Chains A and B, each alone.
Chain A
Amino acid sequence: MAHAKLTCPDDLAAFRGQAREVLNAYRARVLVCMTGCRARGAVALGQAFRAKLAGAGLDQEVAVVDVGCHGQCSRAPLVLIEPDEFLYGNVEPEDVDEIIEETLRNGRPVERLCASENGKVAAKRDDVAFYKHQSHQVLRHCGRIDPRRIEDTVAQGGYEAVAKALCSMTPEEVIDEVREAGLRGRGGAGFPTGIKWGFCRKAPGNEKYLICNADEGDPGAFMDRALLEGTPHQVLEGMIIAAYAIGAGRGFIYVRAEYPIAVEHIGIAIEQARACGLLGEDILGSDFCFDVEVRMGAGAFVCGEETALIASLEGERGMPRPRPPFPANEGFLGKPTNINNVETFANVPIIIAEGKERYGALGTEGSKGTKIFALAGRVKDTGLVEVPMGATFREIVFDVGGGIPDGREFKAAQTGGPSGGCVPAEFLDLPIDYDSVQKVGAIMGSGGLVVMDDRTCMVDMARFFLEFTQDESCGKCVPCRVGTRHMVDTLTRICAGEGKPGDTDELERLATVVKTGSLCGLGQTAPNPVLTTIRYFRDEYEAHVNEKRCPAGVCKNLITYSISEETCKGCRLCKKACKVDAITGEKKQVHVIDTPKCIRCGLCMDVCPFKSVLVS
């Protein structure tokens, strides 16, 4: 759906007018998430809406739009109805007739598909607790537009910031605006974006590069994925403005191959922007030229580190190199290069379009704006959350996320992925920004926030992260390569019940060595999960080492499975599931697990319909 080339800001305004007219021709819109919700049947749902609306003769007045993430992924597949703003969750194709009749014909909500709290139905999106406590700024168009249609983005004011920057601001003014807005890198390190751009702008040379780091490798993080899938033009817009500011003519988006929908959507967005003259030569009639290429990662976590990412783009093994020289001076092919994260770029059009004052009104003194978090783990409502900087863990986990399911206790929140740390319950009221989270030994990171309850073993968590970083260590420097290996070995021993007195202290010592001696961010932050779990959950380490006990009932060698005599109905499901014939018992009789034979795989626990399999 290419549009004629736009040669000046007035062309863009005309295009926006046309696009709005097309949108306004419909009296209602059915917004079906066609990204994350695809995993739960959104494709069939979208088809059902289209077919049934056509059958009801409503397809000329009601539009069905494939959109990006609505946020509350735990209720997938989600459908939002405009203009009523009814948000329906767990929608099946069978529900479509009722939605058409009740909502699209009669304007009433289908209450059984709405969120409810304490028996009270919240039909409108903004009345749902999950959304009530959020502030959607960067995500404002995510879930409202078809990411594969540039018209939808332009109708919402897309590319106006590009027009403003290119046609009415100097590159220095753009840099000043972003710097004074207080935008800091959303990839985790929190370096002021405007200052970073300034370095690259001032670096000598005419050939400069811009890179969008979409190698979102932190396990438990999916913010960048949602942005690229749901609002790819916003990211491109930020890149064009950044390229103008630093004077780059060519850009790359380095995206994980594990994100096929993101790769597809950003590719479509680039083609459309090119066709409209928003990428390429003389953008919007200015003399600024810039084009972008998508490169897919090949599965190496360390490539999220900027120098390793550049090595990978150059066709090398993704190994970091010491800085300085920083990429701003010597980056891709030795030329000045600026790298920012997806979410950072997505913030830029908002700053340029609305001004630094309005942008800076949200957030804390040192961290302006909002932050998107990927809320996951042992929390009722998982999904994508955007809150002002300075929101507390309690607000995110309990107000937005609805707290811990099954009446369990909050134990810790893991932020920043393998580079971060576990923040315990005593800091639930800590305002989250770059600086405060660092003070308690973790990092805010790129936005992964995994909630843990009392069923999570903190030693096992530390081992999990260290295994990950050990596996992903590129092997270039000794502290990271050998140090993380020793730490994994020690942690594995502790989890296996073979820990020795002094192991915990040794781990702490080794962690400090790895942290201070490693070459890049991967090694320098790898010990954080170990250090924070020792700092806040030392008693769990002691229980594993001294009492050979795993308080959370997770570590295989330290637990035994048994079957409750009171609740076992003798259904034989566990007996059938057991691969090592460790379960005996007659039909309708209480079954028994032969502990020496049991390999503690937990299959019996999963199949038991009566929750009769116990761990101790």
Chain B
Amino acid sequence: MSCACEIDMSLAGGVLDSMEEKRRGEGRSVTTQDLIPLLQEVQAAYGYLPPPVLVWISEQTGIPTSRMYGVITFYSQFYLEPHGRHTIRCCQGTACHVKGSKRIGEAIKQELDIEEGGTTDDMRYTFEAVACLGTCFLAPVIMIDNDYYGQLTSNKIPAILASYD
């Protein structure tokens, strides 16, 4: 985990300022009601949720860090550790399952030598299994960042993974 001195707090400041301005337009201040959009924007700015930033936001808004921790650990899209440069999302939806998504996941794990939820040592890839990407006609499907790869077979995986740096 990074130490506070390396983290640029101005990113969080920007996020908080714009949210405060939006809420002022509605005649109220930022409260726990805004916690989820706030965390989403902080994560978009930093790539993850650095704990020192959360402490700082807590001080600014009065939202307790315990409350933040509860929310962060409940929802699967929040993470407290940095992610790899690219995120692989392997769809585990019903259609993908029926069409053999398990083998695709196995191939990715073997190729990168990581487990589900893990990040490669070189910070190149984070591998996540997700419930459904809603692109069932492409089953079995994975997404790398915002690119879809559909109708996969496990032998196509190494070439796809090699195409990202």
A residues with a Cβ closer than 8 A to B are: 36, 38-40, 73-74, 76, 216-222, 225, 256-260, 295-301, 312-318, 333, 374, 376-378, 382-383, 414, 417, 448, 450-452, 456, 461, 464-465, 468, 472, 474, 577, 579, 601-603, 606-607
* Shortest distance from the beta carbon of B47 to any chain A beta carbon, whole Å: 15
B131 touches A468 (CB 8 A): yes
Interface: B98 (CB within 8 A): yes
Complex: A140 Cα to B74 Cα, angstroms? 39
**B139 contacts the other chain (CB 8 A):** yes
Across the interface, B75 reaches (CB within 8 A) one of A40, A300, A468, namely: A300
Check A417–B34 contact: CB distance below 8 A: no
Residue with the greatest number of chain B CB neighbours at <10 A, chosen from A259, A414, A464? A464
Which chain A residue has the least Cβ–Cβ distance from B97?
A: A464
B77 at the interface (CB under 8 A from A): yes
Q: Is the CB of A257 within 8 A of B77?
A: yes
The residue that B153 contacts in the complex, of A218, A448, A606, with Cβ under 8 A, is: A606
**In the complex, A222 Cα to B135 Cα: how many Å?**
7
- Would B134 and A259 count as touching, CB distance under 8 A? yes
Contact across chains for B132 and A318 when beta carbons are under 8 A apart: no
Cβ-closest 7 pairs across A and B: A73-B137, A376-B136, A219-B93, A298-B75, A39-B148, A315-B35, A220-B94
Q: Is B60 engaged at the interface, CB distance under 8 Å to the other chain? A: no
Count class of interface residues, chain B? 35 or more
Contacts A222-B134, A382-B136, A468-B131 hold; do A376 and B94 have CB atoms under 8 A apart?
yes
Q: Is the CB of A221 within 8 A of B150?
A: no
- B100 located at the interface, meaning its Cβ lies under 8 Å from any Cβ of chain A in the complex: yes
A606 touching B134 in the complex, CB below 8 Å, given contacts A219-B94, A448-B94, A450-B95: no
**Do A417 and B137 touch (CB < 8 A)?**
no
**DSSP class of B's interface residues: helix, strand, loop or mixed?**
helix
Which residues of B in the span 78-135 have a Cβ within 8 Å of any Cβ on A? 78, 92-100, 103, 106-107, 110, 130-135
- Least CB distance from A367 to B in Å reads 24
Minimal Cβ-Cβ distance residue in B for A576: B155
- In the complex the two chains form, is B136's CB within 8 Å of A603's CB? no
Pick from A225, A315, A464 the residue with the most CB of B within 10 Å: A315
Are A603 and B99 closer than 8 Å at their CB atoms? no
Q: Are A220 and B76 in contact (CB under 8 A)?
A: no
A220 adjacent to B155 (CB under 8 Å): no
Interface of A is mostly: mixed
| Complex Cα–Cα for A460 and B148 (A) | 27
Supposing A217-B131, A217-B132, A298-B36 touch, asked if A376 and B137 sit within 8 A by C-beta, the answer is: yes
Is B27 engaged at the interface, CB distance under 8 Å to the other chain?
A: no
Are B134 and A450 closer than 8 Å at their CB atoms? no
Residues of A within 8 A of B76 (CB): 298-300
User: In the assembled complex, which residues on chain B have CB atoms less than 8 Å from the CB atom of A382?
Assistant: 95, 136-137, 139
State how many angstroms separate the Cβ of B54 from the closest Cβ of chain A.
Answer: 14
Task: Answer whether A296 and B132 are a contact pair too, CB < 8 Å, given A73-B137, A376-B139, A603-B107.
Answer: no
10 contacts between A and B (CB under 8 A): A39-B150, A222-B134, A222-B136, A299-B130, A312-B36, A315-B71, A317-B70, A317-B74, A377-B139, A464-B97
The answer to whether A414 touches B94 (Cβ under 8 A) is yes
Query: Apart from A257-B40, A299-B75, A603-B154, what are 19 other A-B pairs with CB-CB below 8 Å?
Result: A36-B137, A74-B137, A219-B95, A219-B97, A220-B93, A222-B134, A298-B78, A315-B31, A315-B34, A315-B36, A315-B71, A333-B33, A377-B94, A377-B139, A450-B94, A450-B95, A456-B98, A472-B131, A602-B103
Q: A341 CA to B76 CA in the complex, in Å?
A: 23
Residue B138, interface by CB 8 Å: yes
- Closest A residue to B70 by CB, please name it: A317
A250 nearest in chain B by CB position: B26
Instruction: Chain B residues near A383: list those with CB within 8 A.
Output: 137
Decide: A314 near B33, CB < 8 A? Known: A220-B93, A376-B95, A377-B94.
Answer: yes
Q: Which residue of A lies closest to B38 (CB)?
A: A315
Query: Contact at A417–B94, with CB atoms within 8 Å?
Result: yes
In chain B, positions 17-75 with a C-beta closer than 8 Å to chain A are: 31-37, 39-40, 70-71, 74-75
**A387 CA to B98 CA in the complex, in Å?**
24
Cα-based distance from A219 to B75 in the complex (angstroms): 17
CA distance A313 to B75 in the complex (A): 13
Task: Give complex CA distance A472, B130 in Å.
Answer: 12
Chain A contacts for B135, CB-based, 8 A: 36, 39, 222
- Interface contact A216-B99, CB-CB below 8 Å: no
Are B74's CB and A464's CB within 8 A? no
A495 smallest CB distance to B (angstroms): 12
Q: What chain B residues lie within 8 Å of A417 (beta carbons)? A: 94
> Could you tell me if A317 and B134 are in contact, using CB atoms closer than 8 angstroms?
no
* A38 / chain B contacts, CB cutoff of 8 Å: 148
- B10 part of interface (Cβ distance < 8 Å): no
